[in-house]
Amino acid sequence: MTRLHAASTARSADWRLSELIYPVRVEAIGSPTPIQALPTLSRVLCGPQLYVKRDDAIGAGMGGNKTRKLEFLVADALAQGCNRLVTLGGPQSNHCRQTAIFAAKHGLCCDLVLAGEAPGSSLGNLLIDDLLGARLHFAGNRPREEVAAELIRAWQAGGERPYLIPLGGSTGLGALGYVRAMAEALEQIRDQQLDIDTMVVASSSAGTQAGLVLGAALFGYSGRILGISIDAPERKLRRWISDIALQAAALLRRTGAVGALEIEVDARYLGGGYAVVGSLERDAIRTMAETEGLLLDPVYTGRAMGALIDLIGKGAFDKHQNVLFWHTGGAPALSAFAERLMDGSPCHG
């Protein structure tokens, strides 16, 4: 396998982090999220040296990747004079929870359109959405987009100014949050003299990986960015990533600089489907918690780490490699999946 040297790449002529002019954003992240080594997990797996980028530890909104996207999206909503945020997701959507936090913070009303029927009890993110004063609309068997569009029309008819944030905040504008995140990470990699040759990220509505991939092209990072698909077949996810990355590049006036984006997706870990917790996710969550004291989430990072552990077991990496896992958050959803997560645990058997 070719060794790639991110740290030396980061000092190359392509290193122009501060030159980009981004659209306005509302600051929510504060200082850079840490990159930490995972020495015990690396030893237990007998694989490459593992590191984690702690986007779960973003201060605002109980952490998570959507906060980086929402810095740009909410700034746009405010610039347009909107007074409500409308967005959609699964019942345990981390994106919806983070949107509700921005809304509360900026004095906006918040409508969340969630898939399926209202569950009997409010656990995990649903509880937090409720505490934040968001209005929950369960779409039942109708498409969420349709329900959201209907809401928007109704609010507009009533003289309100709603702002629609598409699924996962995955638009060109939202993806800029991960272009910035890539710049942030590359700066840390350079300063800490790490030699990260592979990054691994959970990929679903594609905005996160799109931002990372575009950032890699803009800043000259030549390592792999491996997206673990959470719920979409490979071709679909790759197309979304490329579309969103190009939209983001257009906003930065850098379409010419992009060339061929390196998009790598592994869609072999879809398991029982979206938000269906199986042994892959459960074991990964327990392994990470027991070795490093870090909490992954049941839907995204549990699956992506499960995939990484499986790939390491199959010899996909050698011991000299350095792999950075993007912890994109989601642990606030854990309690809603308690039954599936406790299954088969030796402590509760």
Q: Which residues bind ligand PLP (CB under 6 A)?
A: 64-65, 94-95, 168, 170, 202-209, 297, 300-301, 328-330
Comparing CB distances to ligand PLP, the nearer of 50 and 202 is 202
87 or 287: whose CB is closer to ligand PLP?
A: 87
Using a 10 angstrom Cβ sphere, with 0-12 exposed, 13-18 middle and 19 or more buried, the burial of residue 147 is: buried
The least distance separating ligand PLP from the CB of residue 267, rounded to whole angstroms, comes to 13
Report the nearest approach of ligand PLP to the CB of residue 315 (Å). Answer: 26
What is the DSSP secondary-structure string of 79-93? HTT--EEEEEE-TT-
CB closer to ligand PLP, 86 vs 206: 206
Task: Decide whether 10 or 103 has the Cβ nearer to ligand PLP.
Answer: 103
Residues 105, 124: Cα–Cα separation, whole Å:
20
CA 190 – CA 201 distance, rounded (Å): 20
CB 19 to ligand PLP: min, Å: 25
| Tokens 């399926």 belong to residue | 116
| Minimum CB–partner distance for residue 148 and ligand PLP (Å) | 17
CB 68 within 8 A of CB 26: no
Report the distance separating Cα 211 and Cα 180, nearest Å: 8
Name the 3-class secondary structure at 117. Answer: coil
Question: Smallest distance from the beta carbon of 208 to ligand PLP, in angstroms?
Answer: 3
**Closer residue to ligand PLP (CB): 26 or 213:** 213
**Of the candidates 339, 309, 341, 343, the residue with the CA atom closest to the CA atom of residue 325:** 309
Calculate the alpha carbon distances from 102 to 22, 61, 236, 268 in Å. Answer: 20, 8, 30, 34
Q: How far apart are CA 189 and CA 125, in angstroms?
A: 32
Contact 113, 146 (CB under 8 A): no
**Residue 4 CB burial class (10 angstroms; 0-12, 13-18, ≥19):** middle
10 vs 206 by CB, closer to ligand PLP: 206
Catalytic residue among 8, 31, 93, 205, which? Answer: 93
Residue 93 among the catalytic residues: yes
Shortest Cβ 206–ligand PLP spacing (Å): 5
Residues with a known catalytic role: 93
